[in-house]
């Protein structure tokens, strides 16, 4: 048996120290995650009839869809629903302002980012997050419907997260409503024209998506779900 050199011993000691440090860091990270989750659940405990509205944080989409975002949010709030957004600028701010203007609760689940993205000024409840996955959990957990305004990677990620959770039955068949026909129609057409024939999706996976520019349609879809599915599940309040 070859005797280990002094260099090997030192390498083993360094490795052991690194493993111990990594383990301690992981334990600390788990504690931080647990603390953030507990704080989130406590902050959101009184949120009722939540509808999450996703949308772009950028300024340019506000020019085209800001007024529509405001009208949709106002209509939902006026119908008794709590509007939940990511709490940032852009279309999220327009949605939160719509809820506030209707005199209803306006919730923002903000995220800590390397670049500055301040919370918008239209929040009656702000819940800050460091971890993206906990924020996404909260956006889903406290909602009985999902409204998607035009947006980029984050909005697309949230759209397909909701659709996948419905598809895998980890989430009930709550409405997924795309607002902004001009923006979304091409994506849904691609799903029907390419993904379904390829066997990647079934027709019913896409049939459950609603596309509209009408705030009244959004309210009707959400209200119907709340009066039927939500009551069956015992979460209609």
Please, which pLDDT band fits residue 20 given cuts at 50, 70 and 90? low
Give me the residue label for tokens 């009985």.
Answer: 144
> How would you write 170-193 as a 3-class SS string?
CCCCCCEEEECHHHHHHHHHHHHH
How far, in Å, CA of 87 to CA of 148, rounded? 14
Identify the CA nearest to 127 among candidates 112, 140, 143. Answer: 112
Q: Model-level pTM greater than 0.85? A: yes
pLDDT (tens digit, 9 = 90+) per residue, 104-153? 999 999 999 887 778 999 999 999 999 999 999 999 999 999 999 999 99
pLDDT (tens digit, 9 = 90+) per residue, 173-225? 899 999 999 999 999 999 999 999 999 999 999 998 999 999 999 999 999 99
């Amino acid at each position: 048996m070859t005797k280990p050199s002094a260099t090997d011993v030192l390498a083993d000691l360094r490795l052991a120290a690194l493993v111990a440090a990594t383990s301690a860091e992981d334990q600390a990270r788990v504690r931080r995650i647990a603390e953030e989750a507990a704080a989130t659940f406590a902050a959101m405990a009184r949120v009722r009839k939540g509808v999450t509205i996703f949308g772009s944080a950028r300024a340019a989409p506000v020019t085209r869809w800001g007024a529509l975002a405001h009208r949709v949010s106002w209509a939902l709030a006026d119908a008794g629903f709590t509007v939940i957004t990511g709490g940032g600028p852009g279309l999220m701010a327009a949605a939160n302002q719509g809820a506030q203007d209707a005199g209803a609760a306006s919730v923002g689940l903000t995220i800590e980012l390397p670049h500055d993205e301040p919370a918008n000024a239209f929040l009656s409840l702000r819940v800050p997050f460091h971890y993206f996955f906990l924020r996404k959990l909260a956006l889903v957990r406290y909602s009985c419907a999902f409204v998607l305004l035009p947006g980029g990677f984050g909005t697309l990620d949230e759209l397909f997260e909701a659709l996948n959770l419905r598809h895998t039955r980890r989430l009930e068949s709550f409405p997924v409503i795309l607002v902004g026909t001009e923006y979304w129609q091409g994506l849904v057409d691609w799903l029907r024209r390419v993904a379904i024939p390829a066997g990647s999706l079934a027709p019913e996976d896409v049939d459950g998506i609603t596309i509209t520019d009408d705030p009244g349609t959004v309210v009707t879809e959400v209200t119907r779900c709340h009066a039927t599915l939500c009551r069956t599940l015992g979460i209609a309040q």
